[in-house]
Amino acid sequence: MSLRTRLIISYALVVVVCLGIIAVAVTVLVQSYRDRFTMAHLDDVARPIAVQVRTLVRTEVSIDDVWSRLEEQAEKNNVYILLLDNEGGIVRQASPQPDEKQARLDLPPGQLSLRTLQTEQGKFDTSSGETYIYAAYPLGRLFDSQNTLSLRTLVLAVPRGQPVAILLSLVRPFLYAGLIALAVSIIIALLLARSIYRPVQKVTQAAEKIAQGQYGQEIEVIGPKEVRGLATSFNKMSRQVKQAQERLRHFVADVSHQLKSPLTSIQGFAQAITDGTASDKNTRMKSARIIQDESKKMMRQVDELLELSRMQSGQLSLVKEPVDIEELLKQCREIFTLRAEEKDLRFSLDVPLLPRISGDFDRLEQVFNNLLDNAIKNSPTGGEIQIITRKTTDTVEISVIDSGPGIPPEQIPYVFERFYQAMGVRTGVGLGLAIAREIVLAHGGDIHVTSSPGEKTEFIIHLPINEE
């Protein structure tokens, strides 16, 4: 069942349920109103009849004559008239249709045990289960002319309308109203379904195109708030998928380029050994050494790729222990001192007294070795490399600054991507900074870069302080 059909059916069901609730509520209200109106009408009729009965009895008119007058009143007002004695028993009762054979009102004992001196209204049930509304009016204490009957209360009663009858009387108007409301709701449902269904349909079509390889699909952000949110999220996802595919293509191209060069060398020198071009021992040994070096280079690249993949999939294992930042940085400086001296670079290390951090010493050494290696490569002869540290509120900040050509601002967001080099030229292994970032993130830290083109580049690392 389509979304549009479900929306239309849901609106129709809402209309039907609402009409049913309204019908029941109206029935209850109408029943209550009719009861009150009937009681008030019976009270108005009972008063003059009670006065008439009291007057006739006191003028010593026979009870038969009084009863004859009451039967006329019952027929005239379409009510049952009951005369009760002092004990609440029915002395006589008159039907509104005396010509027909009507059963007398059969009341269970105690239903009308009225001893009130005031007018009273209410309901009573007959033995057959019928409900009547009545108005009772006290007559005082009257006796007939022979003093044989005691007349205490005059009761006027009419059958109470059943709720089902009231509900049935409302069926036709509610049916007409329901049909009109249903037609209007279907029109509204069609319009609303269209505003929701069409954007969803566009999302579906765009998703199918992405699945077919047509990346970069975007849909118009229109419609209700939720639909606009869906469109915005879809467009964001589409852009990310496109970027991921572009990065994947670049990655494959980079890997192919990086492996092609050593493979070409290996193939060429292996061919020289095989076809006898490298005939003398020295040439063969040189060819073998080149093959060995290029093979090691390929193995290093493959290992770094695998390592980065494990890191990005959350499989990096760290052996954390308290790490002395000063000791770590001094060890890294010693490793690169000779290379710095070969380029006549000034190498300064400013390490004040710092708290220990919790981390993997070897992995952190790998991070700073990579940063120092890049700094030496990019610094001109006679330049300077600085390592500056300081303590912040809850982290240790380490900055590695070189005096190289800097990085253009538009290139900075891509510095930590694999196989990416500043100035937009892809070169070398290009995995060092990507691996460094993953290691820092695994320590709960952060790494970012700032640069002044033509002056310097600064890599800044924040590592959390060990609380122990």
Q: Is the pLDDT of residue 68 over 70?
A: yes
Residues 344, 283 within the same domain: no
pLDDT digits (tens, 9 = 90+) for 2-38: 666 776 777 777 777 777 787 777 777 777 777 778 8
* Residue among 275, 261, 274, 269 nearest 289 (CA): 269
Which pLDDT belongs to residue 388? 92
Residue 154 lies in a domain: yes
- Paired tokens of 314: 């959350």
Residue 228 lies in a domain: no
426 confidence band (pLDDT: 50, 70, 90): very low
Residues 380, 300 within the same domain: no
Q: Is the pLDDT of residue 125 over 90?
A: no
CATH code, domain with 349: 3.30.565.10
Which pLDDT belongs to residue 425? 39
Residues 399, 440 within the same domain: yes
Q: Is the pLDDT of residue 166 over 50?
A: yes
146 confidence band (pLDDT: 50, 70, 90): low
Residues 308, 326 within the same domain: no
Are the C-beta atoms of 161 and 36 separated by less than 8 Å? no
CATH code, domain with 80: 3.30.450
Residues 292, 426 within the same domain: no
Q: Which of 312, 344, 372 is the last residue of a domain?
A: 312
Which pLDDT belongs to residue 102? 52
pLDDT digits (tens, 9 = 90+) for 35-65: 778 888 888 888 788 777 777 766 766 667 7
Which pLDDT belongs to residue 249? 75
- In the numeric block, the tokens 């009341």 are attached to 107
Residues 415-423: what's their mean pLDDT?
A: 66
- Amino acid at the residue 38: T
- Identify the residue with better confidence: 384 or 231: 384
Considering all CA atoms of the chain, what is the largest pairwise distance in Å, rounded to the nearest integer?
A: 161
Print the domain residue range for 411.
321-464
Residues 352, 285 within the same domain: no
* Residue among 146, 152, 77 nearest 113 (CA): 152
- In the numeric block, the tokens 């008159």 are attached to 94
Q: Contacts by 212-216 with C-beta closer than 8 Å and gap 24+?
A: 215/241, 215/242, 215/245, 216/242
Residues 267, 307 within the same domain: yes
Residue 46 lies in a domain: yes
377/383 Cα distance (integer angstroms): 11
State the total domains in the chain: 3
Residue 8 lies in a domain: yes
Residues 78-87: what's their mean pLDDT?
A: 78
* Residue among 457, 347, 463 nearest 398 (CA): 463
Residues 442, 331 within the same domain: yes
- The DSSP code for 99 is T
Q: Which of 138, 169, 200 is the last residue of a domain?
A: 169
Q: Which of 169, 188, 206 is the last residue of a domain?
A: 169
Average pLDDT taken over every residue of the chain: 78
Q: Is the pLDDT of residue 247 over 90?
A: no
Residues 291, 373 within the same domain: no
Which pLDDT belongs to residue 459? 93
301/255 Cα distance (integer angstroms): 9
193/201 Cα distance (integer angstroms): 11
pLDDT digits (tens, 9 = 90+) for 260-287: 777 888 888 888 888 877 777 788 788 8
How many percent of the chain have pLDDT more than 70? 79
Cα–Cα distances (Å) from 325 to 4, 6, 337, 349, 350, in that order, read: 64, 64, 18, 12, 11
Q: Is the pLDDT of residue 1 over 70?
A: no
Residue 192 lies in a domain: no
Residues 9, 155 within the same domain: yes
Residues 290, 438 within the same domain: no
Residue 349 lies in a domain: yes
Q: Is the pLDDT of residue 107 over 80?
A: no
Q: Is the pLDDT of residue 445 over 80?
A: yes
Residue 121 lies in a domain: yes
Q: Which stretch of DSSP H or E encloses residue 251? A: helix 225-275
Which pLDDT belongs to residue 100? 52
Q: Is the pLDDT of residue 337 over 70?
A: yes
pLDDT digits (tens, 9 = 90+) for 341-372: 888 999 888 888 888 888 889 889 989 998 99
Residues 302, 340 within the same domain: no
Which pLDDT belongs to residue 281? 78
Which pLDDT belongs to residue 397? 93
Cα–Cα distances (Å) from 85 to 16, 54, 275, 325, in that order, read: 53, 14, 140, 111
pLDDT digits (tens, 9 = 90+) for 183-205: 777 777 777 766 666 777 788 88
427 confidence band (pLDDT: 50, 70, 90): very low
* Residue among 467, 440, 466, 468 nearest 324 (CA): 466
pLDDT digits (tens, 9 = 90+) for 206-226: 888 888 878 778 888 877 777
User: pTM (2 decimals)?
Assistant: 0.47
Residue 452: CB atoms within 10 A of its CB come to: 11
How many percent of the chain have pLDDT more than 90? 8
Residue 296 lies in a domain: yes
